[in-house]
Structure 1
């Protein structure tokens, strides 16, 4: 008889939160909130609040599984399995029989494994509900897990045949529009800056000739007229010079008005001496670069010290950044110096053009995602870079993009990386990282709701803040975190207040620290009762 392999797909509904916070939350370590499914006959089968469902393997909204376990081989014909599944769907595993703790996806996987191969799924997965119940945490955590379980639904049949990259995605379309807009702006700025340089050079030549009592050559005037005509002439690829300058001035004023209207972010403008840091970087990498990389070093100098615009950076600049960040042949100091320079570059209003060059390879965010594996100095530099990214509206919004990509075995996004860096820094035992982590969280909370999918991160950051409160933070750190907590309680009006009440400490325990903190404690108290 023909045999078929049987696999157990294991997903973590908490996306890593359980392993990070369970000890504090329920008093015991949980490595994940497990959801499982069975893959056999080239199909994935699972049970949830909608009953028994199936889909192409790994095509639910959970993305790829965290682990795949081989359960064995089965010789049960598909027709027999199909009849058996139909029986379960109409009896013990119908949708109305689903219970998060007593009859869930893992119980269903166990029953299927026993029927097909006579084997069991891992015991720690089956025992998870009892661990949660025995923690005495009540109904709050199961309610949160129940919401997470909704992510286990299959992607609609209409788009099953396409990869995630090819599915319609409004956020991706928005980012494409932004990118095209920035390309146009970059083209416009490049044209005008080059034209302005030429004008300055011609003017110097004219003055020099006139000062010597000579006559300006006709060909110099002809060149000036030709250049002016080229810039002012309309075409499909460029804008007239005067129109471009007017648009730039209008955009600059709009950006300034937006900056004035928003809450000022916390940034660090004076921590790094750019020239000193650049010279130190040069000393570390001198003689170790290719000609192309040497050219990129010169471009970095023009951008950071020569005060040139981002147009000075060539298409290969991100390859240069990639090598310096990821080539372990370079000492740690190279990465630290580079990240510190990038942190200062983050304060420039045109840094977004550099960031958009990284949309394909995600070099900067992939490196930042590994913050928990970096040295202390590298972690501090990553945190500084991310804090300073909030200086400008465009770069701060870039930090919060939700379009996903796969890094190693995980689906990550800009907002997921930003959140991880913030939480990791806040909960570290390094005072510098704690300060910068609190700054990132403060800046996140100051953003407009429409620019962030706060529901996806508010719970995670709230849990980190509450854990941090047990360290008795300084007034400044307490102010930053309390303000963020009050903001998150406004956005996520059910989960965040529940977590505050469930985990503690009670915000009122900090009453009297300062007037500005008391104001946010009063806001929070109105949400908790």
Structure 2
């Protein structure tokens, strides 16, 4: 199992997961350089050199400009290039994502969306490309700005007929990774789902006795960012209401998590813990949907979950109590 690291707190007791120790930017850059240097023109060589200054030598994000973004986009988009070029580049982006200032490079991509268009092709990528994409996205959670970029819910056009959003693509990568048959992808996918679940959420706090079509218009509601801890410690008399796009993502990831639990014999304790922790969080937002997901997947959590570890048993107890409460 890959060695995880904890980046920043998402609440008092929980920290988001990133992966630093699986990366070797100097080695990956040297290999990338050998693969492409002889085919670059002078302008592209300058882009590669400046990219190295940031990735390997630790210079500030000021060295990254639109030309470098276009250079990176070209390497990702041209499928005729050697597969290893994209794999090494994705690993370098995963290393860059751990930098506190990398988010400003992500912001440059708001027009062409290249850095999310490529992950959107996830199910059609090779396993090595998938691992690079998942690693890049999970490490982007290392900063609040990076996490916000991944969770951006406003839609944008893939083409003339299709719209998507960053958060939909992030969830897609997370779900596909977890239910894959590649252990390292399951590792990254579970970390992505865990990070999504534990990230602060924009929500309305609504008294349950006013959560009706007639009463809602009469209530003075405060819409804002709510921490994971606030949601988990909320009184039973309060219901948190989140945006539809977040609810849809929570349903999608709950389904993926339940499918993983059902199909995986002897899952790693750490991965199963992340799955259960995520389900508990989602149960505070969409309890009835999770009950429907359990029924659709036909998974017997009471048989598969207890006995794996004390902390997983504790999460199972919380999940069960919340789901039972929602049916009362």
1:400, distance to aligned residue in structure 2 (A): 0.4
Secondary structure, aligned partner of 1:348: coil
Partner residue of 1:386 out of 137, 144, 152: 137
**Contact 1:449/1:491 (8 A) holds in 2:** no
Aligned positions of 1:300-311 closer than 5 A: 300-311=51-62
Is residue 466 from structure 1 mapped to residue 258 from structure 2 by the alignment?
A: yes
Is residue 442 from structure 1 mapped to residue 237 from structure 2 by the alignment?
A: no
For residue 78 of structure 1, what is the aligned residue in structure 2?
none
For residue 250 of structure 1, what is the aligned residue in structure 2?
none
Q: Name the CA distance, whole Å, in 1 between partners of 2:96 and 2:72.
A: 13
Partner residue of 2:277 out of 470, 475, 483: 483
Deviations 1:122-143 (A, max 9, x none): xxxxxxxxxxxxxxxxxxxxxx
Q: Name the CA distance, whole Å, in 1 between partners of 2:58 and 2:115.
A: 22
Gaps of at least 5 residues in structure 1 are: 1-255
Gaps of at least 5 residues in structure 2 are: 1-6, 203-224, 226-241
Aligned positions of 1:508-523 closer than 5 A: 508-509=302-303, 510-523=305-318
1:260, distance to aligned residue in structure 2 (A): 7.8
Q: Name the CA distance, whole Å, in 1 between partners of 2:148 and 2:12.
A: 16
Partner residue of 2:81 out of 307, 322, 330: 330
TM-score w.r.t. structure 2 length?
0.79
Partner residue of 2:180 out of 424, 428, 432: 428
Aligned positions of 1:290-439 closer than 5 A: 290-408=41-159, 409-439=161-191
Deviations 1:407-451 (A, max 9, x none): 134211000000110111111111111111111001111111226
Aligned positions of 1:269-288 closer than 5 A: 269-288=20-39
Q: Name the CA distance, whole Å, in 1 between partners of 2:58 and 2:155.
A: 34
Partner residue of 1:455 out of 235, 243, 247: 247
| Aligned length in residues | 274
1:493, distance to aligned residue in structure 2 (A): 2.6
Per the alignment, do residues 386 and 299 of structure 1 end up closer, same or farther by CA in structure 2, a change over 3 Å counting? same
Q: Name the CA distance, whole Å, in 1 between partners of 2:192 and 2:250.
A: 13
1:494, distance to aligned residue in structure 2 (A): 2.1
Secondary structure, aligned partner of 1:491: coil
Structure with greater Cα Rg: 1
Deviations 1:347-394 (A, max 9, x none): 000011000000110001000000111111111100110111111111
1:317, distance to aligned residue in structure 2 (A): 1.3
**Contact 1:482/1:520 (8 A) holds in 2:** yes
1:458, distance to aligned residue in structure 2 (A): 1.0
Q: Name the CA distance, whole Å, in 1 between partners of 2:79 and 2:292.
A: 45
Q: Name the CA distance, whole Å, in 2 between partners of 1:325 and 1:388.
A: 19
Partner residue of 2:299 out of 505, 515, 520: 505
Mean alpha-carbon deviation: is it higher for 421-430 or for 338-347? 421-430
1:282, distance to aligned residue in structure 2 (A): 0.3
Tell me: higher relative CO, structure 1 or 2? Use CA pairs within 8 A at least 6 residues apart.
2
1:286, distance to aligned residue in structure 2 (A): 1.1
Q: Name the CA distance, whole Å, in 2 between partners of 1:496 and 1:291.
A: 55
1:258, distance to aligned residue in structure 2 (A): 6.5
1:491, distance to aligned residue in structure 2 (A): 1.2
Q: Over aligned residues, Cα RMSD in angstroms?
A: 1.8
